[in-house]
Amino acid sequence: MTVNQKLLIRYPGGKRRLLVFLQDFLPNLSDIEGRYIEPFVGSAAVFFYLQPKRAILSDVNPELIDLYRAIKYAPRKVWATYCSFGSTKSDYHHIRDEYEPKTLIQRAARTLYLNRTCFKGMWRHNRDGCFNVGYGGQERRWVITEEDLVFCATVLRGVSLKCADFQPIIDQTQKGDFIFLDPPYRPGHKECSNSHYVWHQFRYNDYERLADSVQYAKSRGVRWAMTISSHEDILRLLKGNHVLRIPRGTGKMPGILTSDSGEVLVTSYPVEGGMRL
């Protein structure tokens, strides 16, 4: 996958827009001796860019994991079901509010349809866990093809998919593994908040758990890179690692860390232009 290739879904905080920046600070596949592991997989932009042969992808969002599982094993069946859904406003509201999928294929097709047909590809749920984004306002969907799903299935071959909390995923890592982490940003951050994270609100104690897990993984010889909001209380938890400000535009060069840096990249290994926390 190139940095400009379209993704399967849109997701809050997705890293496609940052691939041009991130590619210079992530290890090459040949340098990853073990597995590639992503505990907050989301849109899987980094995974599909790197295309590792051995990987674990995980998320607490069961709709995401069901989508990836179905496409991994039956991309053409997902596509056929997806294409059977109409794209008018009334069709959309029927699929969103009344349609009850009974199989993995149907659940995956519904998730893909809602993401591709809703307003700006947003991903939002109410407190009951029900998708509640409005219609996108056009009678055709955000473009995707059957070949795109088949491509994703090919890349997902050999990948282990888990619906789980991040901690047991990180705690099972071994020397030589590489972890890419994109946890929910703190509430109020303009790039992404916790509002979509309905299955388990990500709170400060979760950042503490995350920091403990990655620090322990580092001591076992596991390398990792994390994109996170530049918040003093959170960065303090990652002391001893390396931090680099992420530019607001992908054409900009990284710079020094300031109080209004917004997003940062934190790594367990030194990076050019980074500073030690």
Domain map (residue ranges) of the chain: 16-60+164-276, 68-151
Task: Give the amino acid at 138.
Answer: Q
pLDDT of residue 198: 46
pLDDT of residue 248: 67
**16-60+164-276 and 68-151 share one CATH topology?**
no
What residues does 37 pair with on adjacent strands? 56, 179
Mean pLDDT, each 10-residue run in order, the chain (277 residues):
67 76 92 97 93 96 96 98 94 95 97 91 81 82 87 96 98 98 72 47 90 98 95 94 82 44 89 92
pLDDT of residue 222: 98
- Angle at alpha carbon of residue 149, lines to 146 and 155, rounded to 5°: 145
Q: Are the CB atoms for 119 and 189 separated by under 8 Å?
A: no
How many CB atoms are located within 10 Å of the residue 273 CB? Answer: 13
pLDDT of residue 20: 85
pLDDT of residue 235: 94
φ, ψ for residue 183, nearest 5 deg: -70, 160
The SS3 of residue 48 is helix
CATH architecture of 16-60+164-276: 3-Layer(aba) Sandwich (3.40)
68-151: CATH superfamily: Adenine-specific Methyltransferase, Domain 2 (1.10.1020.10)
